[in-house]
Amino acid sequence: MNRRRQIYEGKAKVLFEGPEQGTLVQYFKDDATAFNNKKKGTITGKGVLNNHITEFVMLRLAEIGIPTHFIRRLNMREQLVREVDIVPIEVIIRNIAAGSICKRLGIEEGAPLPRPLIEYCYKEDALDDPIVAEEHILTFGWAAPHELEEIVAHSFRINDYLSGLFMGIGIRLVDFKLEFGRFFEEGQPPRIVLADEFSPDNCRLWDAETNEKLDKDRFRRSLGGETEAYQEVARRLGVLPESGPGDPKGSEIVQ
């Protein structure tokens, strides 16, 4: 067996050294966590579904000119990506009030926001990823002013495009989280690219007719039907894997 070097293991993904210099293999696990690891569980087949959903979204975003780390999907659970230096900021865009903003500001879940709202969290597990302002990002140098400007512009463009894309399949894009990285190419200044994933793990998706939750809130709130919800998103996007997420080929880490 060809054993690869593991670079990093996160809560829902593992990164391995890629086949060529400057590439990584991103492996999607079935593990689910919520509330910064305080709740742990498994969503059967989630990794397979998130791999396919992320592939679809990254390809569509590349088509509209958003640079991403995505190269290609390798198999049921893995995709080849460019190695980037992750900017330690989670960018959250909200269209409808849900989750932490409701608690923080006393807003009712489901209230449409007057305009899309951007928030930032500092990526530091030991601090539970605290919410921070643009001033913190610039003062502490987590991103340079021109990088942050690009991150903000990409994030709103992604929101506009994906809101329409999901509405086209009867789903409201309530909110989502993005991560960006710096991609280094010889002889060129580092470029900001979209990294990580885009899946029901990091966004809220509500059925446009019934408001049924089709995302990780099913797990966070112990509503049940997690796999079915993720499958429904993949099915509507037209990327539900033929053999289904329970496919044994997709269930083990292949090394």
Query: Which residues of the chain form contacts with ligand TMP (CB under 6 A)?
Result: 92, 99-101, 129, 175-177, 202-204
Q: Smaller CB distance to ligand TMP: residue 163 or 202?
A: 202
Paired sense of beta strands 171-183 and 191-195, if any: antiparallel
- Residue showing the smallest CB distance to ligand TMP in the complex: 99
Contact (CB, 8 A) for 57 and 84: no
Least distance (Å) from ligand TMP to the CB of residue 147? 21
58 φ/ψ sector (left φ>0, alpha ψ -120 to 50, else beta): alpha
Which amino acid is residue 41, in one-letter code? G
Query: 18 or 29, CB closer to ligand TMP?
Result: 29
Q: Report in angstroms how near the CB of residue 11 gets to ligand TMP at its nearest.
A: 9
> Between residues 32 and 193, which has the closer beta carbon with respect to ligand TMP?
32
Q: Cβ 98 to ligand TMP, closest distance in Å?
A: 6
73 forms bridges with which residues in the sheet?
79
With respect to ligand TMP, which residue has the nearer C-beta, 18 or 95? 95
Q: Which tokens go with 227?
A: 């796999």
Question: Residue 180, SS3?
Answer: strand
Angle between helices 145-167 and 46-63 (to 10 degrees): 110
- Give the nearest distance from C-beta 45 to ligand TMP in angstroms: 19
